[in-house]
Each structure stands twice: as structure tokens, then as C-alpha cells.
Amino acid sequence: MTVQAVVAVALGGAAGAVLRMLIAATIGAHHVFPWATLTINIAGSFAIGLLWGAYGQAEWFQQWGRMLLVVGLLGGFTTFSAFSLETMNLVQGSRMLLGAGYVSASIIGCLIAVFVGERVGQVLLQ
């Protein structure tokens, strides 16, 4: 890992986190449905696909662009975009069963993790 890569991820991550906050603030807090999070996740998934499709093989993208834009910016914006790209790569690689398993394990595993984490947090704070 180079210093340039760390700086690129840090700068991109900061920008992505701020962008997420601004979009969420613009859309507003959810009361019935998490529209801001859904919008951010869909936008991030579109952006990672767009970047990967347009620049995935470009030299600048391989040298520093991937760290800045994919790992940093979109990583700070939403990790769902990475999940979406990984799933698409599995499916496009004719690994449908593995892709379905990844989706299922990710969704079920994350929901269970949130539930368990919430319960552990409640116990620790008592």
C-alpha cells in the first residue's frame, strides 16, 4: 500500500461521506421509508457501474482513480455499491448460484448482525 493510495482513499472517503450527508439532509429523515438511504445506495451502485464500465481498464483508473473514486468516494458514500458490483461480476461470470448465495448471505447476515449488534449494545448500555 502506497502513501498515494492512502491519501487518495482518505480524500475520496471524506468527499463521499460529506456527499452522503448532504443528500440525506436534502431528502430528509425517513419516517415511513428510508428514501435517502435507498437513493444513496442506488446512486452509488449506478456510479460504480458507470465508472467501472467507462474507465475500468484505463491506466489512470488502475493507477489512482480506483482508489480515489471507487474505494474512497463511493466507499464513503455507500458500501452497497461495492456489493452490487461484486454481485454483478459473479452473475456476469456465469456464477449465478454463487451470486445468489452472496446476495442471500449478505442480506440475511447483515440483518442478523444489525439485530444482534443492537441487542448487545442495549445490554452493554444498561
Q: Write out pLDDT tens, residues 38-88.
A: 899 999 999 999 999 999 999 999 999 999 999 999 999 997 888 898 899
Give percent of the chain above pLDDT 90. 65
Q: Does 117 reside within a domain?
A: no
Quote the domain boundaries for residue 52.
3-79
**pLDDT at residue 11, rounded to an integer:** 98
Euclidean distance between CA atoms 38 and 33, whole angstroms:
9
- Per-residue H/E/C for the chain: CCHHHHHHHHHHHHHHHHHHHHHHHHHCCCCCCCHHHHHHHHHHHHHHHHHHHHHCCCHHHHHHHHHHHHHHHHHHHCCHHHHHHHHHHHHHCCCHHHHHHHHHHHHHHHHHHHHHHHHHHHHHCC
**pLDDT at residue 33, rounded to an integer:** 81
Q: Which residues of 11-50 are buried (b: 16+ CB within 10 A; e: fewer)?
A: ebbebbeebbeeebeeeeeeeeeeebbeebbebbbebbee
Q: Does 58 reside within a domain?
A: yes
The pLDDT-based confidence of 31 (bands split at 50, 70, 90) is confident
**pLDDT at residue 124, rounded to an integer:** 85
Q: Does 122 reside within a domain?
A: no
Euclidean distance between CA atoms 7 and 67, whole angstroms:
9
Q: Does 19 reside within a domain?
A: yes
Q: Does 113 reside within a domain?
A: no
Q: Does 92 reside within a domain?
A: no
Q: Is the pLDDT of residue 29 over 80?
A: no
- State how many domains the chain has: 1
Q: Does 108 reside within a domain?
A: no
Q: Does 7 reside within a domain?
A: yes
Q: Is the pLDDT of residue 121 over 90?
A: no
